[in-house]
Structure 1
Amino acid sequence: MSISHKVVIVGGGAAGIATAASLLARRKGLDIAIVEPNDTHAYQPGWTMVGGGIFDPKVTVRPMASVMPKGVTWIRQGVTGFTPDSNEVTLSDGSKLGYEVLVVAPGIRLAWEKIAGLEETLGRNGVTSNYRYDLAPYTWELVERMRSGKALFTQPPMPIKCAGAPQKAMYLACDHWLRRGVLDQVEVGFCNAGGVLFGVADYVPALMSYIEKYNVALNLGNDLIAVDGPAQKAVFKTSEGEVTREFDMLHVVPPQVAPQFLADSPLAADTGFTDVDHHTLQHVRYPNVFGLGDGANTPNAKTAAAARKQAPVVAVNALQELDGHNPRAGYDGYGSCPLTVERGKIVLAEFGYGGKLAPSFPTWLVDGTKPQRLSWMLKADALPWIYWNGMLKGREWLAGPGGLIAQ
């Protein structure tokens, strides 16, 4: 006999915890279970700062138990499948978990294995990535000890979480080398599988000014497909064939895909991600299922800021579903990417669906298209505090559910 809960949330990351907190803020005592196998919860946006020598890695993680909302049942298992026709989730021990409403927030999977030779050389031979907690300190170690040589930074095809993170790592490294007076001895290359530096054109001029300032070789349409760590060589696929580049330091961002248990399920779109309406975040075929965060098939930037805006929308609409009503809140595609272009300055990219600019502050205070000190203070000081004490606690500062529509 399966155990059942009113609401089951798959995933105890930013999206899952924030949704549970937003639900409980609206309906105290609601029966919620969160399925999450990990014992720790990470503030992943902080890993760029770890790789830049600004944050201590320990400040980016906390015990999962400390972020679980009070009253929520924590099921410390993984998920192996969904059977939405019978309103059940299959857990890793083979048992079934029933629900009235399901929230799917499992995140995105880092597919390191898609780059030949990468997994066996990560953390060695100058190969690193800020996309892993244990590797971000190695990024800073490499940056700090580099005096000359070749440094490559890569970005895979979309979708990835935080599309600005690949170049943020590069800018902070270059800024350090510039301050140390060794930048002119370092050959820096940015190899991006995409065709543009950044997907929203309004922010490109400011970013290009730093590409030029740091004398970065910008290689668009370059997709990393193989790494030979001991030989310190990286192979890229381009429109003209394969190109091999040597490196002394290689910062890799892996390809990213939907978790397999989601991709193989009836809940998945063709992309493998949860097939939801882009505004209500309700599943297009199963009305008692909602999806958000990096695992949702929504065409927004996959960032913690997006999840912060999505969680209240899912909370409102999930309660509507429980009460037998149609969704009444809408998500506008908001995402934010604070691009750390140097230590002390950030280009604060904020935009919604279609690349429409969506600033949180008046431009006289924060002009997101220009590098600013105030934006740095927001990223380094305010946002981590807001994450731990606001978003994960159901406090929806500047993130209340928008797009309310008449029923």
Structure 2
Amino acid sequence: MKIVKAQDFDLRREVEYGTAEQNEAVRAIVRDVKKEGDAALLRYTEKFDGVRLEASGLRVTQEELQAAYDQVGAAFVEAIRAAAVNIRAFHNRQKRNSWMDLQPDGSLLGQILRPLKRVGVYVPGGKAAYPSSVLMNVIPAQVAGVPEIVMVTPPATGGTEGIDPYILVAAAEAGVHEIYRVGGAQAIAALAYGTASIAPVDKICGPGNIFVALAKREVYGAVDIDSIAGPSEIAVLADDSADPAYVAADLLSQAEHDEMASAILVTPSEAFAQACRAEVERQLAELPRRDIAAASVRDYGAVILVDSIEEGIGVINRLAPEHFELIVEDPMAYLGLVENAGAIFLGPYSSEPVGDYFAGPNHIIPTNGTARFSSPVDVDDFIKKSSLIYYSKEALLQNGATIMELARREGLEGHARAIEIRLRKEGKAGVNDDNQ
């Protein structure tokens, strides 16, 4: 990891969302699935996943879900259940209710909250399988009250044996029983537009590779999406009170995700910077995914030297990282200064994997600096809101002229007359006859 001064580090990270060739390939897949339905879905599944299916074999059966339990250990089942309890408890605190406010003039204003009807969850395969992401997508939707949750995942997340059994068990424990063995851009298109086998959804959530990300962007508008996620990232602000071994391990916990993952240490101590860099190299040599982590550390890792903790927090706010660990002597003293971070971890024992798996907050967090204006997935992501207006005669008679004034200043006479006709009907004095 290179060590640089804050003023010499480019805090902007430009992430290109696919090459021209990748974008065109995704557009073609989406077009084909939209037009041909299951036929295109099956064709692309064979082409990209090497799995030949019939339409009748797309859906995972209840027998397969039950069989998955025989392939995972009891310890995993217990762990996934314990994590689910914490995640559900955290998201239950986010629930909001519809509300109505009766005005003195008899008008009623309010907001009606309703869950989305049908949500699609994408669970990736490839470099790793992520059963924890099943919980993080499904549980907030359930808490919101979504009645239909469907999951798609590539047909070979478990290699030649089919879908990874840990993903299937996580889905079953979360209460998802409509699961399809399809992945990639073709799965996103199927969720968005529907096929004979897969009914369309209202929203698509979940991470995936570049083709999944591009497909989500392509179908946005026909359906809602959670986000277009970039590579994982972590920033740690630490002083001499921190343990270099702890910090190095946390940096590598994100570097092992992907060659483009970003792991950055910010510190006012050059001695700590040197110790942490040496510890990263030592731990890296023993990491099973060291080739991936080494590429991440080499290309997107850095140690940034600052003059003070306050300056370091300024750097963090400009980075707006996905995960931010504040490991200093008194982290609560600085928490109020942190403005931009997807998830904030305080103190030496709040290691990032605590949030990834178990504590309860959602681990689907804004990346690539978007924590400046967006938030982790939560219950609100699965709710739609309708404004409620019941205007009384008294209120309209009192405010009608004001409403007409605003409408006419915008040149919308039809708007004004929709009010005026009511005022005249009620014998409201003062209506301007020149506007007839």
TM-score in terms of structure 1 length: 0.29
* Greater fraction helix: 2
In terms of Rg, which structure is larger? 2
* Greater fraction strand: 1
